[in-house]
Amino acid sequence: MKERTANATAALKADAKAAAAGVREGWNRDKALDVNKASKEDLLTLPGMTPEKADKVIAACPYNSTGQLVTRGILSQSQYDKIKARLVAKP
């Protein structure tokens, strides 16, 4: 009985985490991501973003414009073109 309860609790916990991640992704999908304030987790929601690139984005803050991701050599132009509509750089 204890094992079934523990398994059910673990399954519910995993489902709750997945639901929360889905809600968070939905909220962020239509909003522009501020590269000056974004967390690593936020950056990783962008297509093609790797943990290493996310770390580089954060380390090179602040940005005056999102185009600086390319001029500073953090992203290639093609990588930037895929996500630029979802980015802003607020002071």
Residues 54-88 pLDDT 10s: 999 999 999 999 999 999 999 999 999 999 999 99
Write the pLDDT tens digit of every residue in 33-63: 999 999 999 999 999 999 999 999 999 999 9
Same domain? 61 vs 78: yes
Which among 71, 62, 56, 58 is positioned nearest to 89, based on CA atoms? Answer: 62
Task: Give the pLDDT of residue 16.
Answer: 72
Same domain? 23 vs 43: no
Q: How confident is the model at residue 9 (pLDDT cuts 50, 70, 90)?
A: confident
Same domain? 14 vs 38: no
Same domain? 70 vs 90: yes
Same domain? 74 vs 42: yes
The per-residue DSSP string of 5-74 comes to HHHHHHHHHHHHHHHHHHHHHHHHHSSPEETTT--HHHHTTSTT--HHHHHHHHHT---SSTTHHHHTTS
Q: What is the total count of domains within the chain?
A: 2
Range of the domain at 46: 32-91
Q: Which two tokens stand for residue 20?
A: 């929360």
Domain holding 88: CATH number? 1.10.150.320
How many Å apart are CA 11 and CA 5, to the nearest integer? 10
Same domain? 78 vs 61: yes
